[in-house]
Amino acid sequence: MMSLTNSPFEYALPHIQKLRGYTPGFQPKGDGWVKINTNENPYPPSPAVEAAIKEAMGDALRLYPDPRSDALREEAAKLHGVSSEQVIFGNGSDDILNLLVRAFAQESPAGYLLPSYSLYPVLCGIQGTGTVEVPFDRSMKLPFDALAKIEAKILFVTSPNAPTGVGFSNADLSRLIETFEGIVVVDEAYADFAEENATELLAKYRNLVVTRTFSKSYGLAGLRLGYGLADKDVISLLDRVRDSYNVNRLSQAGGLAALKDQRYLKAVAEKICRTRDYYRAEWEKLGWFCYPSQSNFLFVEPRNAAGEAGPKVAQELFEYLKANKILIRYFPSNPLTESFLRISVGDEDQMLRVSETIQKWLKNA
């Protein structure tokens, strides 16, 4: 047997040895949890999805899927009023974000805002590319002056933002896209819960990329499906760097059925928005600050019975809810997020349990 003098770890690329991988939200084992920590949909997907997946099963699974997911591209193009050459599908929108980093961020760094989706720096770390972080302040409005100064060929903007839920208007996004010398990616994972979205800007700006996911509003996080919309030259570059069969046969079938059922999507999104707005108002009545959310989660700064807010209070409530089998998300690593909790909007029963447990916490203090 050949023997290595060093650990196999030492043979890896230096930037991979240093890499810290992405930490996904905790997936609890066992029953009885209220799992509202990863912004999944509490409601099932359109019934048309299961029927389509069943039909796609069977003998056809011997065969590779359509490498381009063409039926999906055509349906999404129709939905957004663009040409099918302006659409690409991926194994979740994470796949599309990864392709963007691969294609645009090698030589020069990639820019992103803080706080926003924490996967962007991880994708850059895998690629060995530098990053430029542009911090928000507590207003959570786009910091235009700082963004105008960054040296990057690609900039990631999450809108509505995560974990705050704050959405950026098309007027603000246009201002940014017009002044940025490079590709602006507007990550619209939560756009179906928002007042506005950036797809209409695609007709105007060749440097805009919009990404979407089936994991939130469509209730299909388990399917792993997402897409990107952009100028056809951008899409053709992304097609060069993607895995040949990046969307499996069952996801293509299920995703197509979901896309075609826009009525179902709208009904579910409206129901979630109603629950979201109700609980935002409830928590504001307790004197808790909560960002105006255009997504399927609320970012709230809790106060204890003595009226105190801060990292200790947020951490304490997070632990209390967890001890009561309610799983939400706490982001202690940034001063702008350490006093807040992110609560995904669950169904009515789940939200009632959250609300009652918060009342118990306030009384027990």
> Which residues are near ligand PMP by CB under 6 A?
92-94, 117, 158, 162, 187, 189, 213, 215, 221, 226
Indicate the residue among 253 and 358 with the shorter CB distance to ligand PMP.
Answer: 253
Indicate the residue among 303 and 329 with the shorter CB distance to ligand PMP.
Answer: 329
Indicate the residue among 92 and 302 with the shorter CB distance to ligand PMP.
Answer: 92
CB of 220 to ligand PMP, least distance (A): 9
CB of 42 to ligand PMP, least distance (A): 16
CB of 265 to ligand PMP, least distance (A): 15
User: Up-side HSE of residue 331: CA atoms within 13 Å toward CB?
Assistant: 24
φ, ψ for residue 340, nearest 5 deg: -115, 165
Indicate the residue among 42 and 92 with the shorter CB distance to ligand PMP.
Answer: 92
Indicate the residue among 120 and 283 with the shorter CB distance to ligand PMP.
Answer: 120
Q: Go through the chain and tell me how many residues it has.
A: 365
Indicate the residue among 192 and 358 with the shorter CB distance to ligand PMP.
Answer: 192
Indicate the residue among 191 and 234 with the shorter CB distance to ligand PMP.
Answer: 191
CB of 340 to ligand PMP, least distance (A): 16
Burial of 139 (0-12, 13-18, 19+ CB in 10 A): exposed
CB of 310 to ligand PMP, least distance (A): 25
- Chain centroid, CA 287 distance in Å: 28
Burial of 22 (0-12, 13-18, 19+ CB in 10 A): middle
Greatest CA separation for the chain: 70
CB of 226 to ligand PMP, least distance (A): 4
Strand partners, 35: 327
CB of 307 to ligand PMP, least distance (A): 32
Number of residue whose CB is nearest ligand PMP: 92
Distance CA 329, CA 312 (A): 15
Indicate the residue among 89 and 357 with the shorter CB distance to ligand PMP.
Answer: 89
Indicate the residue among 48 and 221 with the shorter CB distance to ligand PMP.
Answer: 221
CB of 320 to ligand PMP, least distance (A): 25
CB of 34 to ligand PMP, least distance (A): 19
